[in-house]
Amino acid sequence: MAVGQCSFPTMYEVPGITLGTACAGIKQTVRDDVLVIQMAEHSSCAAVFTQNAFCAAPVHVAKVNLAHGPRWLLINSGNANAGTGEQGMQDARSSCADLAEVVDGLATQVLPFSTGVIGQPLPVAKIKAALPAAISNLSADNWNKAAQAIMTTDTFAKGVSKVIVIDGQTITINGISKGAGMIQPNMATMLGFIATDAKISQDLLQSCLALAVEQSFNRITVDGDTSTNDACVLIASACSLVPEITPNSEPYKIFADAIMFVCKQLAEAIVRDGEGATKLMRIVVEQALTDEEAVRVGKTIAHSPLVKTAFFASDPNWGRILAAVGRAGVENMVLENVQLYLDEVCIVRNGGRAEDYTEEAGQQVMNQQEITVTVKLGRGDAVQEVLTCDLSYDYVKINAEYRT
C-alpha cells in the first residue's frame, strides 16, 4: 500500500552513467536483485552513510574506497551483510574484487552497498555468478530496472529526473532510492543513488550532498529506527558541456537547488511507501528558537506511536499531538503561545482547545490521505518540516513476517 500516485517517472539519460541489473536469487527469484552502476573516468563521487554504531560491512568498505576514485557501485538487495563480523568484511571486499575482475578495474574503485536481512552471511558466490549478466546489460536507460533491483519491502520503484539549463547548456540529474521501513535517517536510513553529468569537484559535491540530505532524508521518519546499512551517493560524470561548477557561483546555486529538489522528492516517496502506510503527514513546526528545536518537536510528534495510530484511525485525538509537543524538551515554553493546526483548522490556542474548534472540522481533515500538522511555538522565527506516515496493522504484519 502506498499513499498517492506513485508511478515511475520518465528518466532522462545521464551522459557518462550506465546501469546494469541481474538476478542472483539472493532472497527471491522474481526480479533482479543485483545492480551495477558504472561512471565515466574522471567522475567525482560523494556519499553520506548511516551513523548506526553497528553499521554493516559494506558501509565500512565503501567509506574506505570513497577516497580511491570510485568508478563502480555494486548494490545487492535481499541481504544486508550486517552483523556478520570479520567474515562480512571479507565478503564485502571479495564482492568488490569480483566486480573489478569482470570490468578490468581495481577493487578499491568499487563501492559496495547491501540491503535486506541482517545477520546472515552474504551469498558471495551468487552475486559473483550474476555479475557478468549485470555488466553485459549496462545501459544509460536502465533506471527503472535499477530502482526495482534495490527494493526490499518497497511496493513501488522510486525515481526522480530533472534537467537544468546553465548558460544555454543542460545538466541532467537522476535519482533512485529504496526504503519503506527502518526509516529514521541519522544519515542515512535508506539507499539513495543520484547521478549527474555536471563537472564539479569531489569536495564541493560532498558539501552539496550533505546540505541536501540534511533538509530531505534527515527530515523523514516511518518508524524511528535507524538502519545499519544505508547510504546516499551522489556521482558526477563531468560529461556535461556546462563549465565546471565552482563554489559561491550562480551555477552552483542552480545546481544545489536541483539536487535539493531531487533529494526531497525521493525522501517523500519513501514516506509515501512507508510499510503499511495509509496517510502522509507533514509536521510543520514554526516560530521555534532554532532549526534544531523545530526538528526536535517535529520528530517527537512524528515518532509517537499514539499520534501515528490516531491518524491511521482518522481520529482527531489532538491531545496526543499536544502531549508530544510537551515532551519534546523545549525549555521555558510558554503554553499560552502555542498553537496547533490540522491543515487550516486551529485546534489549540491560548493553552487549551481553540474556542472555535469543532470535532466535525477536525474529522474532515483526518479523513484525508495527506494532512499537514502545524505547530506554532511562539518563540522565534525558525521553521522546519518533518514528513511521516501513520502506523497501521499492516506495518506489524510486514515486519513480523519479514524473514519468512
Which residue numbers are catalytic? 189
Cα atoms in the 13 Å half-sphere on the side-chain side of 246: 2
**Angle at which helices 85-103 and 57-65 cross, to 10°:** 50
Q: Distances in Å between the alpha carbon of 73 and those of 11, 159, 194, 308?
A: 19, 17, 12, 36
Dihedrals phi, psi of 311, to nearest 5 degrees: -70, -35
Which of 214, 163, 211, 222 has its CA nearest to residue 187?
Answer: 214
As a whole number of angstroms, the distance between CA 204 and CA 336 comes to 45
Query: What are the residues whose beta carbons fall under 8 Å from the beta carbon of 204, sequence distance 6 or more?
Result: 245, 246, 247, 252
As a whole number of angstroms, the distance between CA 311 and CA 282 comes to 12
As a whole number of angstroms, the distance between CA 283 and CA 370 comes to 11
Q: Tell me the residue type at 387.
A: L
Which of 172, 187, 337 has its CA nearest to residue 241?
Answer: 172
As a whole number of angstroms, the distance between CA 325 and CA 338 comes to 9
Judged by DSSP in three states, 367 sits in coil
Q: With beta carbons less than 8 A apart as the criterion, state whether 210 and 256 touch.
A: no
Judged by DSSP in three states, 224 sits in coil
As a whole number of angstroms, the distance between CA 157 and CA 19 comes to 15
Q: Cell numbers at residue 239, please?
A: 560529461
